[in-house]
């Protein structure tokens, strides 16, 4: 048996390629949309991808199953569980609880494991050439390392009222099936630490049933009501794009036929795009953005959170421009198409050329912790402190008097912000607040500041602020 774990750090998402070396056949489980890596691995290992499957209709990334099937001609095996509302709406071979299929000498058995979603299935794998007992279970978003899939996404992202409680009850029952499995069975989940599909996912890529029985909180609560309360409490905010992913993955993602290649814009094309009001996403780091950026552009940094924050901010129906280094364009494009953001109008890689033609660049106003303290002491009512972290972070510790508006929901809550006050944003260290400042500036807010170092710096510096910072320096700064 050949086994390969493929991991996308940006989405904390796992897919798997498993092959029978005797027959040369292989299956891909939960593929992402840019499928070249699966094809490359199969070619290197002298395998043909003959089967493709998914554990469920995904919410956090756009599936590559149709893309891969279009290229390889592989059989597409998808869940037919969950009822009429949870059926895939494109051609496939349906799977039900208890169904079995073979990929060469590899035997897969389907287990219906609802809870995260009604149609969710898991796969028991037996390598029949070596044993008559299963050795692995692919759990998707059912059981993670140290956690289980959240049941509230259908309500949070897709607007299906009451589904969180139903899903929680289903998850409790599904875990009974998991507990009955042999302890030695290896557990291969669909996500790792950083995913919004659970609240406390471990960073270890795999586990065993026995290990999860020992350490996974969800397997150690026997009271159903207590389990449901704990499961639903403290889940992270569901990114806005999750609802769109559910819709597209159910109806069938558009087949691209390859990775799109956005074009580099001339300055004339850029000027025309700006006049048309096309959104500009500046992917440079927060310090470069603060030092000078195109008016109205939004700072979504090219780091591990790029895909998710793009999904929070961008409209699926509207084109957008990227500001990025030439060498990063391909990876950024892959990150975007993985969540269905295909409308890349083009990119520019050097804003200095724009500035050298006499166009003005804007800067981000920065303010230190001690300067904020002095402002608060002098005129508390002239400031709005806005914490753009997640609610769970805010609840654990915050600056007294601050309000919590998640960075991804700032533009939905402009009515809470006073343009006549100095609005000071902060997150943990400054990344999310840099994006938040850019969002507010794009909406016409001028008196917006980024707290240097964020809440982490506040905890360290605030107790040591002294009168060395004078009100004159603060007034001059502001």
Instruction: Please name the CATH architecture into which domain 267-356 falls.
Output: 3-Layer(aba) Sandwich (3.40)
pLDDT in tens, 357-369: 999 999 999 999 9
- Contact between 189 and 143 under an 8 Å Cβ cutoff? The reply is yes
pLDDT recorded at residue 349: 95
Q: Would you list the DSSP string of 211-239?
A: HHHHH-GGGS---HHHHHHHHHTTPPPPP
Distance between CA atoms of residues 302 and 286, nearest Å: 10
> Tokens in use for 1?
């048996």
- Contact between 136 and 190 under an 8 Å Cβ cutoff? The reply is no
- The dotted CATH code for 2-251 is 3.60.15.10
Residues 6+ apart with CB under 8 A from 130: 1
Low-confidence residues in the chain, pLDDT < 50: 469-478
Question: Cα-atom radius of gyration of the chain, to the nearest Å?
Answer: 25
Tokens 């990119």 correspond to what residue? 347
pLDDT in tens, 177-228: 999 999 999 999 999 998 988 888 999 999 999 999 999 999 999 999 999 9
pLDDT recorded at residue 131: 96
- The dotted CATH code for 365-477 is 3.40.250.10
pLDDT recorded at residue 467: 53
Q: Would you list the DSSP string of 294-324?
A: -TT-EE--SSTTHHHHHHHH--TTS-EEEE-
Residues 6+ apart with CB under 8 A from 282: 289, 293, 294, 297, 298, 299, 300, 323, 438
pLDDT recorded at residue 478: 38
How do beta strands 25-29 and 13-20 pair? antiparallel
How do beta strands 2-8 and 13-20 pair? antiparallel
Question: If residue 169 lies in a helix (H) or strand (E), which one and from where to where?
Answer: helix 163-179
pLDDT recorded at residue 377: 86
**Phi and psi angles of residue 391, each rounded to the nearest 5 degrees, phi first:** -60, -40
- Contact between 99 and 110 under an 8 Å Cβ cutoff? The reply is yes
3-state secondary structure 320-358: EEEECCHHHHHHHHHHHHCCCCCCEEEEECCHHHHHHCC
Strand order in the sheet with 207-208: 100-103, 106-112, 121-127, 136-140, 186-189, 207-208
pLDDT recorded at residue 464: 83
Q: Pinpoint the residues of the chain covered by CATH 3.40.250.10.
A: 267-356, 365-477
pTM (two decimals): 0.93
Q: Pinpoint the residues of the chain covered by CATH 3.60.15.10.
A: 2-251
């Amino acid at each position: 048996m050949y086994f390969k774990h493929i991991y996308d750090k940006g989405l904390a998402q796992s897919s798997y390629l498993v092959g029978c070396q005797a027959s040369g056949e292989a299956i891909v489980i939960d593929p992402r949309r840019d499928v070249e890596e699966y094809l490359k691995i199969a070619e290197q290992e002298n395998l043909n991808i003959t089967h493709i499957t998914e554990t469920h209709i995904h919410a956090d990334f756009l599936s590559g199953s149709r893309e891969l099937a279009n290229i390889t001609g592989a059989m597409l095996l998808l869940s037919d569980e969950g009822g009429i509302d949870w059926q895939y709406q494109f051609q496939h071979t349906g799977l039900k609880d208890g169904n079995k299929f073979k990929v060469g000498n590899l035997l897969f058995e389907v287990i219906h494991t609802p809870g995260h979603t009604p149609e969710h299935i898991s796969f028991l794998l037996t390598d029949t050439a070596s044993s008559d007992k299963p050795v692995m279970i692919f759990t998707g978003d059912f059981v993670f390392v140290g956690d289980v899939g959240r049941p509230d996404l259908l309500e949070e992202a897709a607007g299906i009222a009451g589904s969180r409680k139903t899903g929680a009850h289903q998850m409790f029952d599904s875990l009974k099936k998991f507990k009955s499995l042999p302890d030695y069975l290896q557990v291969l989940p669909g996500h790792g630490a950083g995913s919004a599909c659970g609240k406390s996912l471990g960073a270890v890529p795999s586990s065993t049933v026995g290990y999860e029985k020992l350490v996974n909180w969800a397997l150690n609560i026997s009271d159903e009501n207590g389990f449901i309360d704990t499961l639903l409490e403290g889940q992270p905010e569901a990114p806005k794009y999750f609802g769109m992913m559910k819709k597209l993955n159910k109806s069938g993602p558009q087949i691209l036929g390859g990775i799109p290649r956005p074009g580099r814009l001339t300055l004339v094309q850029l000027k025309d795009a700006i006049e048309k009001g096309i959104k500009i996403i500046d992917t440079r780091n927060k310090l470069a953005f603060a030092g000078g950026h195109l008016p109205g552009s939004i700072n979504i940094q090219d780091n591990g959170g790029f895909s998710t924050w793009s999904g929070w901010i961008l409209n699926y129906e509207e084109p957008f421009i990227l500001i990025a280094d030439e060498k990063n364009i391909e990876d950024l494009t892959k990150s975007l198409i993985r969540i269905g953001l295909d409308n890349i109008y083009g990119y520019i890689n050097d804003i200095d050329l724009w500035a050298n033609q006499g166009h003005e660049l804007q800067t981000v106003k920065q303010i230190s912790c001690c300067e904020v303290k002095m402002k608060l002491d002098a005129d508390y009512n002239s400031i709005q402190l806005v914490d753009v972290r997640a609610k769970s972070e805010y609840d654990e510790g915050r600056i007294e008097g601050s309000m919590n508006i998640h960075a991804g929901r700032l533009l939905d809550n402009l009515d809470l912000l006073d343009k006549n006050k100095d609005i000071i944003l902060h997150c943990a260290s400054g990344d999310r607040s840099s994006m938040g400042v850019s969002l507010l500036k794009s909406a016409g807010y001028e008196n917006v500041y980024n707290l240097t170092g964020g809440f982490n710096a506040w905890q360290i510096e605030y107790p040591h602020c002294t009168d060395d910072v004078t009100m004159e320096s603060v007034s001059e700064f502001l």
